[in-house]
Chains A and B, each alone.
Chain A
Amino acid sequence: MSVIDILSAIALLGGALMSLAAAVGLLRFPDLMSRMHAATKPQVLGLFLMLVAVGLQMRQWALLPALLVAWLFQLLTVPVSAHMVGRAGYRSKHRRPELLSTDDLHSVVEAVVDGGAVIDGGGGAAKAAPTSAPTMNPDH
């Protein structure tokens, strides 16, 4: 067993640990938003460690760009999916205000829904809020 084997074993175990972190987070966290954190984020590091292990075992220069591209595509897509699910979750029944210590977005959306005022013309919140007004306040 060489040093490289040991290093890749560490990387593989670390990557697997990140999957475990995602699973524990999904089980333990109380609401959709926190679960989103647990489900998507640890994989950024997890996949990186897995790819490092693959690279260390294969040791071919030609493979390196493919591994890098695989990771970069993950980096490009994870925030988009997290944002879309998070945004949809905030605007539907899955919002749990009692779990938030501060909610700066709520007052902005409220102002738009109540007054019909447009804040700064054409912001994302201002545009999207009126259409989702009926589902905004399921908890009150």
Chain B
Amino acid sequence: MRGSDQGAIWRALLNRLPLLAWLVVVWGALWQDFSPGNLAFGLLISVGVSSVFYLPPVELGGRLNVLRAVVFALWFLKEVSVASIEVFYWAVVKGPRISNAIVAVPLRSRSDLLMTATGHVLSLIPGSLVVEVDRGTSTLYVHAMNAPTPESVEKVRRGIQDIEARLIRVMGSRADLAALKREAAANVKESP
């Protein structure tokens, strides 16, 4: 049993690592000093802070595709820019005549992290915001701007599921990724 115990300890450490790394980066950024001494002291403080103010551990997917993450960041910036201008346009042109919708979006993954990340990303992109979350069925209820017809509602739903697919490719678990690949393959077979 010693091996599995050690494995559990390693996994716990690995799960804490992103939080510690983030805290150390924030420490360095705030001091504007990334010298080894300052970072070491920052690490001490982050270990202390994260043990005193204990947060429930986040279940990570166990993989991170850096290339996909960079692509995702660029796509996110583009999407935010386009949507910001869109909302500005709606504010000027449509104003009080805007027609919105609250759309139930079922997600593929049951992971809390992916649900949170998807909700965050879609909330940051102007024009949509999460009103309610059903964790049991991993459904997001999203308030979307300018969705007057059923077609546009369907478009909103597909857009959000696309965000989730992108996030799964960046950091989803292997099982989620495999399910996504199967789904994509099925779609390719259906379309012609």
Contact = CB atoms under 8 A, between A and B. Distances in A.
| Chain B, interface residues (CB within 8 Å), range | 35 or more
Interface in A117-138: 119-126, 128
| Residue in B29, B126, B131 with the greatest tally of chain A CB atoms within 10 Å | B131
B71 interface: no
B26 interface: yes
Nearest to A106: B102
B84 A79 contact: no
Given A34-B145, A44-B80, A125-B141, A102 B150 contact: yes
B153 A21 contact: no
B162 interface: no
B49 interface: no
A82 interface: yes
A42 B101 contact: no
Contact of A41 (B29, B127, B133): B127
B135 interface: yes
Majority SS at the chain B contact face = mixed
Interface in A98-130: 99-106, 108, 119-126, 128
Contacts of A69: 25-26, 29-30
Contacts of A68: 29
A119 B139 CA distance: 12
Given A69-B30, A125-B132, A37 B102 contact: no
B4 interface: no
Q: Which 7 A-B pairs have the closest CB atoms?
A: A79-B123, A41-B126, A123-B134, A28-B95, A104-B104, A65-B29, A21-B88
5 contacts: A62-B32, A66-B29, A79-B119, A102-B153, A105-B132
